[in-house]
């Protein structure tokens, strides 16, 4: 019905208002819209006081802000001056593409995808799409990104988004599968990030991994699940994160590194730590004022017998597991570890309960900030 009415209206307009400016038979029934079409209203936003502009922009959505910034260089300068809602960003890096993801209250809102595209024998970089949480996907084949380095283009776009949205990087996901351009390991332009996640099946060369860890300042958490050369060495300093998780090659975490820094969370697979260093680490916590530490796990590939560490040397009252004292499962977020076979002791200074569990080739030490955590929706990891 709607389309029929629309057709009749257009036909009537053609009969009543033929174009007076054209003598051509093909154009004799062209609608003259200027008699009835109301032009869009213009609002002189940039001529308002800065406080008024701030109020208008603060009511804009993320897509509106991008459209506004693309109007002119002057509009973009106004955006960089005005205080805006702070957003977070995640960066995902593969060998052939980079995703820049804007987060609004931890939910993905907008994504910019850069990708290497082969056109004939030439390889080009393109900003392929802008994706929005409203299920809108906008194809973008911007010529400004053609024939340029992939990471260079992504960093340039990040700088623009940072000024538009006052955003900082929350997490960098680095996926290494196959040979990777060395420029992918230079991440200083992203500034300080909360978390760094490095995964892959191919070994990363020493100089590239050092560049990755040193150019990107990580304030909270590092996760690594990637093959590392046996000769790799890297010095961690006090400004580095207190939560480190290494699931493949942790041989570069030496006894000296373990004992020189303050950790809250440390998981090491294929560890080369000595049992004396592990005992010293536990004893160091026992006589410290550290109230944030909660988990240390070390697993060796070579034959180790952690039970020979003789924890009686700690000089504390060792107690077997008691359900009245604590839960058999130690929980961290959505993961849990079985501690029913662990030995308990209490730090006298603050009453914190700690447990030690020894298995063949593994040692687990945890501190119970919550002795009876909930056990719903959890996954056992070790």
Q: Which of 34-48, 61-75, 167-181, 312-326 has the highest mean pLDDT?
A: 312-326
Confidence of residue 374 (pLDDT cuts 50, 70, 90): confident
One-character DSSP codes across 282-303: HHHHHTS---S--EEEEE-SS-
Question: Using an 8 Å Cβ cutoff, are 110 and 123 in contact?
Answer: no
CA–CA separation, 261 and 300 (whole Å): 21
Q: Which residue has the higher pLDDT, 359 or 86?
A: 359
Residue with tokens 């039970």: 307
CA–CA separation, 329 and 342 (whole Å): 10
Q: What is the per-residue pLDDT across 136-167, written as a single tens digit (0 to 9) for each?
A: 444 444 444 555 677 888 888 888 888 777 78
Question: Using an 8 Å Cβ cutoff, are 190 and 173 in contact?
Answer: no
CA–CA separation, 122 and 147 (whole Å): 9
Q: What was the pLDDT predicted at 222?
A: 92
- Given a cut of 60, is residue 181 above it in pLDDT? yes
Mean pLDDT of 354-379: 90
Q: Which residue has the higher pLDDT, 239 or 1?
A: 239
Mean pLDDT of 12-39: 46
- What residues are paired with 169 via a beta bridge? 89
SS3 146: coil
Q: What was the pLDDT predicted at 188?
A: 86
Q: Residues of the chain with pLDDT > 90: what percent? A: 32
| Of 329, 325, 331, nearest in space to 340 by CA | 329
Q: What is the per-residue pLDDT across 59-87, written as a single tens digit (0 to 9) for each?
A: 776 667 777 777 777 777 777 666 666 78
Confidence of residue 135 (pLDDT cuts 50, 70, 90): very low
Residue with tokens 């849990």: 336
Q: What was the pLDDT predicted at 318?
A: 94
Q: What was the pLDDT predicted at 238?
A: 60
Query: Long-range CB contacts (< 8 A, 24+ apart) of 349-353?
Result: 349/289, 350/291, 352/291, 353/325, 353/326
């Amino acid at each position: 019905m709607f389309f029929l009415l629309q057709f009749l209206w257009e036909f009537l307009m053609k009969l009543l208002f033929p174009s007076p400016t054209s003598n051509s038979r093909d154009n004799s029934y062209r609608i003259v819209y200027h008699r009835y079409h109301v032009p869009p209203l213009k609002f002189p936003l940039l001529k308002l006081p800065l406080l008024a502009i701030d109020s208008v922009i603060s009511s804009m959505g993320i897509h509106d802000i991008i459209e506004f910034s693309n109007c002119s260089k002057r509009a973009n300068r106004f955006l960089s001056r005005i205080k805006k809602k702070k957003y977070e960003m995640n960066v995902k890096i593969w060998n052939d593409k980079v995703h820049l993801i804007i987060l609004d209250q931890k939910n993905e809102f907008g994504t910019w995808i850069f990708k290497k595209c082969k056109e004939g024998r030439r390889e080009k970089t393109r900003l392929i799409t802008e994706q929005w949480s409203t299920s809108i996907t906008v194809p973008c084949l911007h010529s400004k990104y053609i024939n340029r380095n992939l990471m260079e283009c992504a960093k340039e776009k990040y700088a623009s988004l940072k000024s538009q949205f006052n955003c900082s990087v929350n997490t960098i996901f680095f996926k290494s599968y196959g040979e990777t351009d060395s420029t992918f390991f230079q991440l200083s332009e992203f500034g300080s990030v909360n978390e760094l996640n490095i995964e892959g099946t191919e070994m990363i060369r020493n100089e590239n991994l050092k560049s990755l860890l040193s150019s990107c300042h990580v304030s909270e958490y590092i996760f690594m699940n990637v093959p590392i050369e046996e000769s790799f060495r890297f010095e961690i300093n006090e400004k580095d994160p207190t939560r480190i998780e290494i699931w493949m090659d942790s041989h570069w975490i030496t006894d000296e590194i373990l004992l020189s820094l303050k950790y809250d969370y440390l998981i090491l697979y294929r560890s080369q730590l000595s049992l004396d260093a592990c005992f010293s680490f536990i004893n160091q916590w026992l006589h410290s004022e550290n109230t944030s530490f909660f988990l240390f796990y070390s697993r060796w590939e070579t034959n180790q017998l952690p039970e020979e560490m003789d924890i009686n040397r700690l000089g504390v009252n060792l107690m077997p597991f008691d359900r009245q004292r604590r839960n058999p499962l130690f929980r961290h977020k959505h993961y849990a570890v079985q501690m029913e076979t662990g030995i308990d002791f209490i730090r006298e200074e603050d009453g914190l309960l700690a447990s030690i569990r020894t298995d063949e080739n593994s040692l687990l030490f945890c501190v119970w900030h919550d002795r009876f955590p909930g056990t719903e929706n959890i996954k056992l990891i070790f």
